Amino acid sequence: MTLKKAVVTGGGQGMGRAIALLLAEQEITVVLVGQTASKVEQVAEEIKAKGGNAEAYPLDVTNDAGVATFAEWLGDEPVDILVNNAGDWLVEPFESTSNEQLDHILDVNLRAPYVLSRSVLRNLRKSENASIINIGSIVTVESHPGVSAYTAAKVGLRALTNALAAELRPDHIRVVMLSPGPANTPMRWDASPDIDPKMLVEPETIAQVLWTIVSLPPGITIRDVVVLENMNLVMGD
């Protein structure tokens, strides 16, 4: 069954870029959504230079009006894959995390995937093998100090993923959380400049795992996937 169109948020760099490139290699038209126009446009041009199809759509995924406009732009065309990859990271002790910081982390990592998934749902329902992939984090299965806001957001995203998987099952839409360990991305290096590169999962590996999920036969799904730095793949409840 042919997959034809994907929407990838945070598509201008890191995991989003790697996911978009791999999907384009599978002859899927990729809509690259990202806050920085120059970044998503650059990745779109990179895909086109390799013979693929891509469209850049600059968008702050926390802007409700902007998301509504994006949904109108998509129209009634089927979307086979939605990747909620856009996110932000905060390293801050619990006691000194401001309300503004908490609101931002919850908005971009939890509320935005909720609103965007709802906005694109009519398009996903037109696909014969639709997937919503929410990019999570290793913090959903192991706790770390200094990232309480981020952890709360990603654990909330995991709960949302499970709820949508149940609610959208009659529509034959698989909803899966893909949670990488520390990844070799700009966001990781900004947060942890001294991290050992050997501890990092490459974005291309994450993209390959995502492709394995979205290319499953219709009606087949996976609950949670955690990709660890030793390249072991753990699947389970």
Catalytic residue numbers, as ranges: 150
C-alpha dihedral (230, 231, 232, 237), degrees to nearest 10 = 110
Of the candidates 160, 120, 124, which has an alpha carbon nearest to the alpha carbon of residue 140? 160
Residues 6+ apart with CB under 8 A from 23: 6, 8, 30, 81, 207, 211
Report whether 162 contacts 119 (CB < 8 A). Answer: no
Please name the amino acid found at residue 118: R
Residue 197, class by beta-carbon neighbours within 10 Å (0-12 exposed, 13-18 middle, 19+ buried)? Answer: exposed
Reported as type and span, the H/E element at residue 58 is strand 54-58
